[in-house]
Amino acid sequence: MSETASGSAEIDEQTRRDFLIWSTVAVGAVGTALAVWPFIDQMNPAADTLALASTEVDISQIEVGQSITVIWRGKPVFIRHRTQEEINAAESVDLADLPDPQTDDARVQKPEWLIMVGVCTHLGCIPLGQKSGDPKGDFGGWFCPCHGSHYDTSGRIRKGPAPNNLPVPGYEFTSDSTVLIG
């Protein structure tokens, strides 16, 4: 009897000690994680970087068939005044042919204005096709020289290693001749 009693007291003692040890370890681990976090978080974009204002662009000077590149949050944004053929080509594509299916309609507010971030979704190069002499790839849109991604006249990925379409930023036409990006 007395043996059992002392035995169970020992077990009690054990579990109590285990509990104390593990709760100390747990509190210590949480505390360490909390202390480490600021040193990691300081690498995230700082307040002034985040506060970068939106960009307003005058588009009245862009002729049909011309493109300009503007900077928004340090990234190039392509603004293209599309020709009727380009719009037709973009709208007539069968969605089943697209690696990242999206209608042209979902990518523009006004069909003649294609506005998108000009950063290849593969590894971040800037696709060619903004200037008249540039290669435009197999689908008449943009071509990324880094690893050979082809984008169509809606900026959708058609061929090559990039997984996604060129992203469309938030924007709004503030008048017929200006657009506010961001």
Residue numbers at the binding site for another protein (CB under 8 A): 40, 43-46, 49, 69, 71, 73-76, 122-126, 144-148, 161, 163
Mark residues 117-146: x for contact with ligand FES by CB under 6 A, - for none.
Answer: ---x-xxxx------------------x-x
Distances (CA, A) of 100 to 49, 64, 147, 164: 30, 27, 18, 6
Burial of 53 per CB tally in 10 Å (0-12, 13-18, 19+): exposed
**List of long-range contacts for 103-107, beta carbons under 8 Å, 24+ apart:** 104/154, 107/154, 107/155, 107/156, 107/165, 107/168
Could you confirm whether 147 is annotated as catalytic?
Answer: yes
Question: Residue 45 binds which entry of another protein, ligand FES, none, with Cβ cut-offs from 5 to 8 Å by kind?
Answer: another protein
158: contact with ligand FES by CB under 6 A: no
149 binds, among another protein, ligand FES, none (CB under 5 to 8 A by kind): ligand FES
Q: Nearer Cβ to ligand FES, position 7 or 148?
A: 148
Contact 114, 107 (CB under 8 A): yes
Is 151 in contact with 166 (CB distance < 8 Å)? Answer: yes
CB of 141 to another protein, least distance (A): 16
Report d(CA 126, CA 36) in Å as an integer.
36
Q: Which of 112, 152, 154 is nearest to 136 (CA)?
A: 152
Closest distance between another protein and the C-beta of residue 100, in Å? 11
* Residue 160 CB, nearest approach to ligand FES (Å): 6
In the complex, least distance from residue 43 CB atom to another protein, rounded to whole angstroms: 5
CB 127 within 8 A of CB 133: no
Catalytic residues: 147
Interacting residues toward ligand FES by CB under 6 A: 120, 122-125, 144, 146-149, 160-162
